A and B are shown apart, each in its own frame.
Chain A
C-alpha cells in the first residue's frame, strides 16, 4: 500500500472540560477520496479548524507528505499544497467570479509585491482562473459579481478557488451545505471529476454524496474515530448504524 499523504496521529483539542477531538488518528492515502462523517457535535468542525491551521491542537501531530504541519498557519498550509473550502461560503463578494479565482491563482504564481501592471489583464492569472471556473461549470459566469451568483454557484466557486491554488490535497468542508437535491447532484458530478487527480478529505453531511464519492469513510463520534472502511463496510458496521446511520434512518422515516 502507498504511503499515506496525510497522517493524523493522536490529535487532541479540549475546550475547557469538553474534549472536541479525542486522541484522533487516521490517514488519507494519495489519490483517494476519504470522507469523514459523524452526527452533529462529533467534532468535524473542530477537526477542520485544526487541520487548516486556524486552531491550535493541544496534543498529537499532523503529517503531510512526511512533513509535520501541526502548527503551520493557514497561509503556509496553502503554500505546501493543502487547499480548503469553507462550510459557510467564503468568497470575495464584491469581485467577479473570475477575480475570485484569479486571486487564488495569484497566491501561487510568483510575488504579489508587484505594484504597477494591471492584475486583471495578467494572462498568467486570468487563463488558469478561467480554466478552473470551467472545470466547476462556471465558465459562462466568469464576469458575474460573486455576491450575485446563486448559492449553488457560490459553492462551485469555492471549489474553483481551492482547485486554482494547484493543491496536492483538498480539504472540503461540507461542499453540499445548504444545497437542494439537484444542486447536490451537480456538485457530486463536479467532485467526481477531481477523483483520482486529487486527494480529497471530504467532510460532509449529505450521505448520498458521501457514498457516491468516497473510497473510504471514517466515522467520527464524540471526537473519536469509531470506524474506518470502504462504504460497504461502513454501511454494514453495527456500531456506526447505532451512532449515526440509524439516526438518519429515523429522520427519514
Chain B
C-alpha cells in the first residue's frame, strides 16, 4: 500500500464520508444536512456530466441546465397526470434528455468556439421560456410534483432512502464515466479535444463521436434533473435559466475539469460556500467572486489539481 495514489484516497474517503452522512446526521438530529448533501450530489452528477463534454471533449456548453429542466419536468409532468411509476419517470427523463441533446447537439456541433457557447445558451433559454409559457404546468410559478414511485422496491419518501438512491447514481456514474473516458470511445473524444484536424486525418469522422458524447452528457444531467425533482418535490423553469448553466460550469472549472472527481468537489464547495456565505450576508457573491478568481488564477486545474498525484507529474 506504499504507493497508494493520494487522489484515489481522496475519492474513496469522500465517497465514504458521503455514505456516512445519513447515520451521522441522524444521530445529531440534523435532517437539514441530509438534504443539503443530497443536493450536493445531484449537482455533482450535473457537473460530472458537463465535465465529460467540457473537460474531456472540449465542448464548452453553456446550456447544460436545459437537461436538469428536461429531467425535472419529466417527473413533474408525469406526476401532474397522476403517473407515479418511477421506472417510467426515469425512463422518460432519459429518453427526453437524449432526444433534446441529440437535436441541440446536431445543430450546435456544426459550430465551434464562441458560437458553440452562444448557440447552446440560446437553446437553453428557449426551453426556459417554453417552461414559463406553459400555464398547464404552472408557468413561471413552477409545479409541485410527487416522488417517483418504485412500489415496494424503494420508498423515496424516506429521506435516507432517497439520499442513498442519489448516492448510488453518483457512484455509478462516476464509475461509468471512469470506464468511458479510458475506453476507445473516450480516447477518441479526448483526441478530438486535443487536435480535431489530426483525428480527421487519421480516419475518424469526428462529428458522430462528439454528438454521442453530447447526448450521453445530456442523459446523465437529465437523470440529475429527475433526482432533483424528487428531492425538492417542486420544479420551476428557473432550473433551466442561464445562471444555472453558469453555476454548473463554475462547479466544473472550480473542481478541475477533465478529472471526473474534480466536478464532484466543485459542486460540494460551491453549494456549501453558497450555503454558509449566504447565511453571513446576502451579498455573498462579494466573497465568492474573489475566491473564484483566486482559484482560477492560482489553481488552473481546480481544487482537484491541488491534490498531488502518486509521484512526479503526469499529463
Interface flag for B195 (CB, 8 Å): yes
Q: Does B200 contact A (CB under 8 A)?
A: yes
Is the Cβ of B183 less than 8 Å from the Cβ of A114?
yes
- Asked if B185 is at the interface (CB within 8 A of a chain A CB), the reply is yes
Pairwise interchain contact B200-A74, C-beta atoms closer than 8 A:
yes
B201 close to A84 (CB less than 8 A): yes
Residue of A74, A86, A165 ringed by the most chain B CB atoms within 10 A: A74
Q: Which residues of A contact B (CB under 8 A)?
A: 52, 54, 73-76, 78-79, 83-84, 86, 90-96, 99, 102-104, 106-108, 111-120, 122, 125, 145, 147, 161, 165
The answer on a CB contact under 8 Å between A114 and B201 is: no
Within 8 A of A (CB), among B171-193: 179-180, 182-188, 190-191
Q: Tell whether, in the assembled complex, residue A92 and residue B191 are in contact, meaning their CB atoms are under 8 Å apart.
A: yes
A-side contacts of B198, CB under 8 Å = 86, 90-92, 161
Decide if B202 is an interface residue (CB 8 Å cutoff).
yes
Closest to B314 in A: A145
Whether B184 and A106, one on each chain, are in contact in the complex, defined by CB atoms closer than 8 angstroms, is yes
Determine how close the nearest CB of chain B comes to the CB of A107; give it in whole angstroms.
4
- In the assembled complex, how far is the CB of residue A143 from the closest CB belonging to chain B, in whole angstroms? 11
Residues from chain B with Cβ under 8 Å of A91 in the complex: 195, 198
29 contacts between A and B (CB under 8 A): A75-B203, A75-B206, A78-B200, A78-B201, A83-B201, A84-B201, A86-B201, A92-B191, A92-B198, A93-B194, A94-B315, A95-B194, A95-B315, A112-B185, A112-B204, A112-B209, A115-B179, A115-B180, A115-B183, A116-B179, A116-B180, A116-B183, A118-B182, A119-B182, A119-B184, A119-B186, A119-B187, A122-B184, A161-B198
**B299 lies within 8 A of chain A by Cβ:** no
Q: Say which residue of A52, A76, A92, A119 sits within 8 Å of B194 (CB atoms).
A: A92
A107 and B187 contact, Cβ closer than 8 Å, known pairs A92-B198, A95-B194: no
Contacts of A117 in B (CB 8 A): 179, 183-184
Q: A111-B184, A112-B185, A115-B184 are in contact. List 18 more A-B contacts (CB 8 A).
A: A78-B203, A84-B201, A90-B198, A91-B198, A92-B194, A92-B198, A94-B194, A99-B187, A102-B187, A106-B187, A107-B204, A112-B209, A114-B184, A119-B182, A119-B184, A125-B184, A147-B315, A165-B203
Q: Are B197 and A108 in contact, with the CB atoms below 8 A?
A: no
Once bound together, how far apart are the Cα atoms of A86 and B201, in whole Å?
Answer: 10
A161: chain B residues at CB < 8 Å are: 198, 202
On chain A, the residues within 8 Å of B182 by CB distance are: 118-120
A65 to B57, CA, bound (A): 36
CA of A74 to CA of B200, assembled, Å: 6
Least distance between B179 CB and chain A CB atoms (Å) = 5
Query: Is B11 interfacial (CB-CB < 8 Å)?
Result: no
Q: Please tell me which one of the listed residues B183, B191, B201, B204 contacts residue A118 in the complex, with CB atoms under 8 A apart.
A: B183
Please report the C-alpha to C-alpha distance between residue A102 and residue B191 in the assembled complex, in whole angstroms: 11
In the A-B complex, the 8 residue pairs with the smallest Cβ-Cβ separation, listed nearest first, are: A78-B203, A107-B203, A74-B200, A92-B194, A114-B184, A107-B202, A119-B184, A90-B198
Cα distance A113–B201 when bound, in Å?
A: 18
Count A-B pairs with CB separation below 8 Å.
Answer: 104
Contacts of B126 in A (CB 8 A): none
**Cβ of B186: which chain A residues have Cβ within 8 Å of it?**
115, 119
Please indicate the chain B residues that have their CB under 8 angstroms from the CB of A116 in the complex.
Answer: 179-180, 183
Is there contact, CB below 8 Å, between B188 and A106?
Answer: yes
B212 CB–A CB distance under 8 Å: yes
Q: Which residues of A contact B190 (CB under 8 A)?
A: 92, 95
Contact (Cβ within 8 A) A52 B201: yes
Question: A74 touching B179 by the CB < 8 A rule?
Answer: no
**A112 to B201, Cβ gap below 8 A?**
no
- B122 to chain A: closest CB distance in Å? 28
Across-interface contacts of B191 in A (CB, < 8 A): 92, 95, 103
Contact B183 A73 (CB under 8 A): no
Is B315's CB under 8 angstroms from A112's CB? Answer: no
- Cβ of B205 < 8 Å from any Cβ of A? yes
Among A94, A103, A165, max chain B CB count under 10 A is at: A103
The answer, yes or no, to whether B199 is at the interface (CB within 8 Å) is yes
CB contacts (< 8 Å) of B205 on chain A: these are 73, 75-76
Distance in angstroms between the alpha carbons of A115 and B191 in the assembled complex: 15
Whole-angstrom CA separation of A224 from B99 in the bound complex: 51
Inside 8 A of A96's CB, which chain B residues have their CB?
A: 315
Are the C-beta atoms of B315 and A145 separated by less than 8 Å? yes
Smallest beta-carbon distance A147→chain B, Å:
8
| Complex CA–CA separation, A47 to B289 (angstroms) | 51
Distance in Å from the Cβ of A76 to the closest Cβ of chain B? 8
